[in-house]
Amino acid sequence: PENLADFHGEMGSCDTCHATKKGPTDDNLSYENAQCTSCHGSLEEVAEGEREGIVSPHQSHLIGDISCTSCHAGHEKSVTYCDSCHSFEYQMPFAGKWQREFVPVNADKAAQDKAIAKGAKETTDVVIIGSGGAGLAAAVSARNNGAKVILLEKEPVAGGNTKLAAGGMNAAETKAQAKLNIEDKKQIMIDDTMKGGRDLNDPELVKVLANNSSDSIDWLTALGADLTDVGRMGGASVNRSHRPTGGAGVGAHVAQVLWDAAVNKGADIRLNSRVVRIVEDATGKVTGVLVKGAYTGYYLINTDAVVIATGGFAKNNERVAQYDPKLKGFKATNHAGATGDGLDVAELAGAATKDLQYVQAHPTYSPVGGVMVTEAVRGNGAILVNRDGKRFVNEITTRDKASAAILAQKGESAYLVFDDSVRKSLSKIEGYIHLHIVNEGKTLDELATKLNMPAAALTKTLADYNGMVSTGKDTQFERPDLPRELVSAPYYAIEVAPAVHHTMGGVAIDTKTEVKGKSGKNIPGMFAAGEITGGVHGANRLGGNAISDIVTFGRIAGEQAAKYAKEH
Ligand code: FAD
Ligand code: MEZ
């Protein structure tokens, strides 16, 4: 047999997998996936049967209901979704290589026009495009405000970049900060955010971000989230980045909480469903969206309001390089769907854009693991050293500065060096160890030898650094926060280099998340939230501010869209 369909065909007929001879009946492949698990067991059951110590494709960090068909295809080659970031070379049956060509949203205009002319298949109050944190928060809040919600996600798995977020969610004046005696003010968060964004942020949006940040933490907590660990991120004056106890990644947790809430509250969530057009009437008011279901083809949904929550475009290097040619050829930290086609859909529907030229590189990406190493490792005490074993930057400066400093080193990369106390402070590090990207030495000499670095220089660097920690002042690079001495063996190092991480620009919105049109007037019925929007972060986003952004503006967008739908 050439593929899984042939293989299963030999055991039975089409009904081994499909309900009818016509093939899949929905784009989630609900029936087909139920058939897989009825024979092979659930994802968790399959994972339990796998050897310990190996990187298991079935013990994934993805969120939601992960379908077998996300990787295992029937009539085509199967492709491991993990390979969109990593390269594990799993021996999957009937497998092909990960590859994806970007197909523009308007590639098939004649067929799309025909589908629109056919009329709507169904009607709803609010359509949300994108299942990341902004989309899921909007879904929860639109449901809380009584709207009928359909959420459309083009990828086979939910969660977008949100599920990958690691270091934390920024918020000021929170209960968790108070418990830890951290003094913070919303105004300081505003000032830090404006300064980090080189004062190019929209100040009104920044006020909404900071002033609602602790409410957003409370809102998530009420939904079941644990955001009680608080750490430091680059560019912040105080510790305000919230994450689960023990330092687990924030994004998978928040996205899972929001996913569960959206499902429980009755949002109709459809995967493999790409929105290719927003339809408007002659006055420019939103009336519907055109969807391309991966299995069901084009269909039109009539809706009063749409929330665009399609994220950024950092994974689309061609587009990134158009705005920032210095980043041409760079790897990206993002998920496969961060290509910017939601931006195209919005622009084709008349949305104005702003700040598209601002694209951020994250300083610490592991090219070997295909994974971003969270800023929280530095926030909790790690230092950056170059191939000569020397520090060269304030490790918790803003990302633009840290990235530029790394690129100026020999080999255009550096090592993130930390000790066992940092490892113990942040459970996210266990994931990097599991991925085999962490070098370990029982002593600094052993670590230096593994890194091919002068041992005496590395030892002196750590001794000098520890001395500065004990006096509380970094006289070399003015690092403002020196959380701990690095004295607990074993010692660890990860090779890191900058990778494209965040696109600060996007569609222009007002403080109620209404999308501004190119004409200068807001587009009736169109709302947007999250990384698809521009203005919140100015020229450079601070670590931890995106999760805050998507939850706060996602909540507002859901509420506003539901209210708009009720009134129209
Ligand atoms: P996303 O979560 O990216 O979701 C958008 C969704 O829309 C995607 O699933 C996409 O497939 C879908 N979509 C796109 N186009 C269409 C279409 N046409 N039709 C249907 N669906 C579509 N920020 C922090 O504040 N703290 C952190 O610790 C942090 N860590 C990060 C770590 C990594 C590795 C990455 C990549 C980012 C991190 N960020 C962090 C940034 C943050 O995660 C993102 O900015 C944020 O999650 C974006 O949320 P979103 O909902 O706007 O978009
Ligand atoms: O905000 C981010 O992108 C972030 C905190 C990333 C990280 O390093 O964890």
**Is the CB–ligand 2 distance for residue 543 below 6 Å?**
yes
Q: Does 346 lie in the same domain as 308?
A: yes
> 183 CB contacts (<8 Å, ≥6 apart)?
177, 238
Q: Is residue 200 part of a domain?
A: yes
- Predicted TM-score (pTM) of this structure: 0.96
CA torsion angle for 494, 499, 379, 416 (degrees, to 10)?
20
The Cα–Cα gap between 21 and 41 comes to 24
| DSSP element (H, E) containing 170 | strand 169-170
**Is the CB–ligand 2 distance for residue 500 below 6 Å?**
no
Out of 216, 249, 282, a domain closes at 249
Query: Whole domain around residue 481: which residue ranges?
Result: 361-500
Instruction: Specify the pLDDT at position 10.
Output: 78
What are the tens digits of pLDDT across the range 493-551? 999 999 999 999 999 999 999 999 999 999 999 999 999 999 999 999 999 999 999 99
Instruction: Specify the pLDDT at position 119.
Output: 97
| DSSP element (H, E) containing 404 | helix 399-407
Give the type of residue at 339. Answer: T
Q: Is residue 68 part of a domain?
A: yes
Q: Is residue 103 part of a domain?
A: no
**Is the CB–ligand 1 distance for residue 274 below 6 Å?**
yes
Q: Are 18 and 69 in contact (CB under 8 A)?
A: no
Sign of CA dihedral 355, 361, 362, 367: positive
The Cα–Cα gap between 201 and 225 comes to 29
Point out the residues of the chain with pLDDT beneath 50: none
Q: Is residue 97 part of a domain?
A: no
Q: Does 279 lie in the same domain as 350?
A: yes
The Cα–Cα gap between 525 and 283 comes to 12
**Is the CB–ligand 2 distance for residue 250 below 6 Å?**
no
Assigned token pair, 446: 């052993």
Q: Does 489 lie in the same domain as 385?
A: yes
Apex 531 CA angle, 566 and 132, nearest 5: 70
Q: Does 244 lie in the same domain as 113?
A: no
> Ligand 1 centre and the CA of 132: distance in Å?
5
Out of 217, 249, 281, a domain closes at 249
Q: Does 340 lie in the same domain as 380?
A: no
Q: Does 144 lie in the same domain as 262?
A: yes
> 457 CB contacts (<8 Å, ≥6 apart)?
388, 389, 390, 448
Q: Residue 419 belongs to a domain with what CATH number?
A: 3.90.700.10
Q: Does 285 lie in the same domain as 141?
A: yes
The side-by-side arrangement of strands in the sheet containing 169-170 is 169-170, 241-243, 229-231
Query: Strands, DSSP E only, in 16-136?
Result: 120-129
Q: Residue 32 belongs to a domain with what CATH number?
A: 1.10.1130.10
Q: Does 441 lie in the same domain as 386?
A: yes
Q: Residue 127 belongs to a domain with what CATH number?
A: 3.50.50.60
Characterize 294-320 residue by residue with b for buried, 16 or more Cβ atoms within 10 angstroms of its Cβ, and e for exposed. bebebbbbebbbbbbbbbbbbbbbebb
**Is the CB–ligand 1 distance for residue 156 below 6 Å?**
no
The Cα–Cα gap between 552 and 496 comes to 31
Which atom of ligand 1 has the smallest separation from the CA of 334? Answer: 36
Q: Is residue 352 part of a domain?
A: yes
Q: Is residue 468 part of a domain?
A: yes
Using DSSP bridges, classify how beta strands 522-528 and 297-308 pair: parallel, antiparallel or unpaired: parallel
Residue in 310, 344, 364 to alter for ligand 1 test, most ligand atoms within 8 A of Cβ: 310
> Ligand 1 centre and the CA of 278: distance in Å?
21
Cis peptide before 93 (omega within 30 of 0): no
What are the tens digits of pLDDT across the range 161-171? 999 999 999 99
Q: Is residue 98 part of a domain?
A: no
> Ligand 2 centre and the CA of 249: distance in Å?
10
Q: Does 201 lie in the same domain as 154?
A: no
Instruction: Specify the pLDDT at position 53.
Output: 66
Out of 476, 500, 524, a domain closes at 500
| Number of folded domains that form the chain | 4
Q: Does 478 lie in the same domain as 369?
A: yes
Instruction: Specify the pLDDT at position 12.
Output: 76
> Ligand 1 centre and the CA of 346: distance in Å?
17
Q: Does 173 lie in the same domain as 26?
A: no
Q: Is residue 264 part of a domain?
A: yes
Q: Does 264 lie in the same domain as 336?
A: yes
Note if 541 is an active site residue.
Answer: no
The DSSP call for residue 25 is: S
